[in-house]
């Protein structure tokens, strides 16, 4: 796995080769910005789902939402804000590393990359992947960081408002991942395989496991 500053553009020659080999282009947003725009409704649904999950896990959170709807917001600038921002950055980094962990032979792969595009991190691979594997890669950060981790922290007594904030934020940030899964499930055959060429994704029914 290698570090890159941004996802490389589509290689036109490779696209022609893939089409000649029977690969079909996935109908998907043409850029990260377009994908984020398309997935905003999904983001809202995911954040609400994450908040509801924490509502039942963390009694103080439940009491706050069930009580009188009077809120007071106090912002203080100090060393604490550095810790909070660092925590957000680490959660983002962990999110991307979970993606990577489910890519086969990720550490030995010369076709898998990670990096940051502005404020957003990404993991990108041009390895051949099965439909099932791609779905797992896409959804694991959402399930682990927004649902499994809050449950674990609640059981061990370590869940607090800040971790709830991080888990809900992670859920909202997983909207593009969920959008990709919906596009894959609706277009790719059951035993299909996928391969990326820059921002473009291609699929065919190869029956090959990855």
Nearest to 125 by CA among 180, 195, 184: 195
> How far is the C-alpha of 201 from the C-alpha of 44, rounded, in Å?
26
* Whether pLDDT at 209 is above 50: no
* Whether pLDDT at 49 is above 50: yes
> Please, which residues bridge with residue 194 across strands?
129, 203
Q: Which two tokens stand for residue 39?
A: 């997935």
| 194 confidence band (pLDDT: 50, 70, 90) | very high
> Please, which residues bridge with residue 117 across strands?
120
Q: Which of 41-45, 134-138, 156-160 has the lowest mean pLDDT?
A: 156-160
CA distances from 77 to 88, 92, 101, 154 (A): 16, 22, 36, 29
Per cent of the chain over pLDDT 90 is 59
Report the pLDDT value the prediction gives residue 115, as an integer from 0 to 100.
84
Q: Which two tokens stand for residue 162?
A: 């800040």
* Whether pLDDT at 207 is above 60: no
pLDDT per position as a tens digit, 162-177? 899 999 999 999 999 9
Cβ atoms of 174 and 146 within 8 Å: the answer is yes
pLDDT per position as a tens digit, 92-121? 899 999 999 999 888 888 889 988 766 677
pTM, 2 dp: 0.85
Cβ atoms of 187 and 165 within 8 Å: the answer is no
- Residue 53 gets the label, from left (phi > 0), alpha (psi -120 to 50) or beta, of alpha
**3-state secondary structure string across 39-51:** CHHHHHHHHHHHH
């Amino acid at each position: 796995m290698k570090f890159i500053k941004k996802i490389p553009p589509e290689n036109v020659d490779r696209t022609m080769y893939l089409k000649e080999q029977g690969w079909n282009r996935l109908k998907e947003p043409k850029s990260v910005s377009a994908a984020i725009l398309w997935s905003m409704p999904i983001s809202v649904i995911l954040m609400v789902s994450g908040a509801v999950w924490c509502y039942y896990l963390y009694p103080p959170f439940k009491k706050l939402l069930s009580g009188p709807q009077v809120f007071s917001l106090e912002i203080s600038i100090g060393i604490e804000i550095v810790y909070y921002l660092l925590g957000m950055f680490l959660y983002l980094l962990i999110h991307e590393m979970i993606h990577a962990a489910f890519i086969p032979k990720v550490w030995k792969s010369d076709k898998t990359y990670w990096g940051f595009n502005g404020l957003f991190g990404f993991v990108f691979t041009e390895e051949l992947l099965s439909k099932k594997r791609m779905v797992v890669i896409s959804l694991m950060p959402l399930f682990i960081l927004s649902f499994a981790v809050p449950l674990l922290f609640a059981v061990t007594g370590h869940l607090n408002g800040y971790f709830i904030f991080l888990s809900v934020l992670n859920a909202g940030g997983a909207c593009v991942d969920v959008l990709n899964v919906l596009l894959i499930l609706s277009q790719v055959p059951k035993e299909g395989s996928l391969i990326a060429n820059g921002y473009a994704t291609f699929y065919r029914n190869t029956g090959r496991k990855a």
